[in-house]
Structure 1
Amino acid sequence: MRSATEILNAIEARAQRAIVQELRLMKKEVLQLRPALSPEDQDHADALLLKLGRLESDQIVVVTDAGAVEQGFQAVAQAA
């Protein structure tokens, strides 16, 4: 059986190329593991949760007001 550190390191390695849905599943997996971890491994899990959250937010597109975006495009088109 693999150690908790090995499991957390494997999750972290996979996270670098994971899509948002996979990142969310990884976060759930870490949250499920966390209560059974040693204090040191819990710190590692907390750091990993932060990293997974950042990777997830980096991939999410924020929707803005469509009217403002359209006005911006029109201004650029008129300037050209």
Structure 2
Amino acid sequence: MLHSYENNNYDYYDYYDMYGNYINSNNGDTKTEFAVGISVGGKFISKKGFTTEIYLGVGRNLGGDNDSLEAVGRGGISLGYRF
């Protein structure tokens, strides 16, 4: 899985200066990493053609540095109609 997240390991603060200007000092950055893992789920189809898919999974990041997430999760529910 290719995923992105915002790295907020830095202190940040919002304030107004003496002229009333808004200052945002967020020093976080966005990281993109690749993870390999496993996921399980199922697909259910009703007699009227409605479908539901449910899945959950977990993966471990490959590469990265000390600030990287060690593991990443995924999950979802999909609803549909089968023609």
- TM-score (normalizing by structure 2): 0.23
Which of structures 1 and 2 has the bigger CA Rg? 2
Q: Which structure carries more relative contact order (alpha carbon 8 Å, separation 6+)? A: 1
- TM-score (normalizing by structure 1): 0.24
